[in-house]
Amino acid sequence: MLKHGGWDFFLAKGQTRVGLVLIHEIFGFDDYIKSVANQLSKNGHWVAAVDIYRGKRPTTLEEGFKVRESLSKDEILDALGNGLKLLKEQIGNNARIGTMGFCMGGGFALLGACNLEFDFCIDYYGMTQSVDEVAGLKGPVQLMLGGEDERINPWAFQNFLPAAMKYKKRVDLHFYPNSRHAFHRPGWEGHNPDAAMDAWAKTLLFLRAFDPEESRHYEILG
């Protein structure tokens, strides 16, 4: 782990000029989020995965909710902002840096993209509290949803997408029928391998558009 601005980061090095500040799920920093970082790195992208719980490892959802609720908005943005600075230092000029997260981490990723100078956001089934913050987005959002996700889908279709339309923001939406919340996570009872594989392929394609070397072949829509 690498410390930056008082936060611990797992840094996975890449070869492109695309970087991601990656945020874990509600159970804290674990092997799953490390595996995501390493897979992104194998595809050429830099990753700074932040331990936003500062070493705490909840063993139940109730404990996880308590830790999450103890975090202030300022703390979350400070963690993501330090990840942004770390990746800019590592990548150098022409870096294109976004946020990415799953569940709670997806919501934090979107929060960061709405309030800080990130180029894009990848949100796997995470939500924010104040959708009007969408006005602050600097780049597109890729949003992954499971069709059986009874908590996130109403927020996405009734709150987030209308806000994106209101503020004229681009959303790359992928909706997977017969998939539950956290369908990407291996080992969980709701894991859907087909949906996870398809979503991952679409994420990698989404990221290619931000690589300056690839941008000659892919048009980035505003």
Beta bridge partners of 8: 3
- Name the domain count of the chain: 1
Name residue 102's beta-bridge partners.
124
In a domain, 220, yes or no: no
> CA geometry: angle at 138 spanning 91 and 141, to 5°?
90
Give the Cα separation of 116 and 169 in Å (integer). 15
Strand order in the sheet with 18-23: 2-4, 7-12, 46-50, 18-23, 96-102, 120-124, 141-146, 171-176
CB 1 within 8 A of CB 10: yes
Q: What are phi and psi of 151, to 5 degrees?
A: -95, -45
Domain with 13 in it: what CATH number? 3.40.50.1820
- In Å, the largest CA–CA distance within the chain is 48
Is 45 part of a structural domain of the chain?
Answer: yes
Please, what is the end-to-end C-alpha distance for the chain in angstroms? 36
Residues of the chain with pLDDT under 50: 216-222
CA pair distance 16, 91, nearest whole angstrom: 8
Q: Give which of 13, 14, 18, 21 is closest to 52, Cα–Cα.
A: 21
The answer for 178, left when phi > 0, alpha when psi is -120 to 50, beta otherwise, is: left
Would you say residue 169 lies in a domain? Answer: yes
Task: Please give the model's pTM, rounded to 2 decimal places.
Answer: 0.94
Residue range 52-62, pLDDT digits in tens: 999 999 989 89
Q: Is residue 138 part of a domain?
A: yes
- For residue 131, being part of any structural domain is answered with yes
Res 215: pLDDT? 52
Give the separation between CA 6 and CA 79, rounded to whole angstroms. 8
The pLDDT assigned to 48 comes to 98
Is 213 part of any domain?
Answer: no
pLDDT attached to residue 219:
46
- Angle 104-115/73-91 helices, nearest 10 degrees? 70
- Domain containing residue 76: 2-208
**For residue 102, is it within any domain?**
yes
- Tell whether 29 is covered by a domain: yes
- Count Cβ neighbours within 10 Å for each residue of 187-201 and write b for 16 or more, e otherwise: eeeeebeebbeebbe
